[in-house]
Amino acid sequence: MLDSSFALLLMDRIATVHSLVYGTPTENCQSMLPQHDNYLPQWMDPSPYNLSASIILDSTSNSSDQYNVTLIAERRRTFKGFFIQARSLTDHKIIGSFDPVKDPDVAKLIDCPGGTQIQVSDLQNAATHVINYPKSVVNFVWKPPANFEGKFYFEATVVAEYKVFWTGIETPPFNITKTGQ
């Protein structure tokens, strides 16, 4: 009996470590809070990490439905883990989708439940790390849902070390309005 209990406990610990080393599990999608034992987020203000986004303009129409999203470590710091989503400003639901990652050794996309997905292509609504080795910058391309109109923002959780992480790192809000309606 003792051997089987120990084996179950060991398997549970291995599964927990596996999910942390290889990216954020979908169970953390809503809170964006790492399940790192009883450790709490850092309260240094400002955070040593910067999340920014900019519209990618189409040279022919001078408009876009895509955004370049960048997470960067400042002051010669690095980070081992990250989790990025876009959320509606009104109800804070997860929205949109990220384009496939260019470097699958650095990042992967996951499907967070409960997001606003107006069409099937709106899956892959969160970006996370693949392996927890140090990095100083990651970039993604994000698209809003096809029929979305309103304000939204990007939010990140950044893990420097297992015990040291920041949550609630946000961009200023963006506004999407549909013309011709």
What pLDDT, in 10s, does the model give residues 53-90? 999 987 665 556 899 999 999 989 999 999 999 999 99
- Give the pLDDT confidence of 146-167 residue by residue, as tens digits: 888 999 999 999 999 888 889 9
Report if residue 17 sits inside a domain: no
User: Looking at the chain, how many residues does it have?
Assistant: 181
CB 108 within 8 A of CB 90: no
**Domain assignment present for 33:** no
pLDDT in tens, 17-59: 333 567 777 777 777 778 777 777 787 777 899 999 999 987 6
What pLDDT does residue 144 have?
92
Domain count across the chain: 1
Domain that holds residue 73: 38-176
The pLDDT value recorded for residue 142 is 95
| Inside any domain, residue 171 | yes
- Does 168 reside within a domain? yes
Residue 25 placed within a domain: no
pLDDT score, position 70: 97
| pTM of the predicted structure, to 2 decimals | 0.79
Q: Which residue has the higher pLDDT, 174 or 106?
A: 174
11 assigned to some structural domain: no
Cα 117-123-127 angle, rounded to 5 deg: 120
What's 132's domain CATH number? Answer: 2.60.40.4060
* pLDDT value for 62: 54
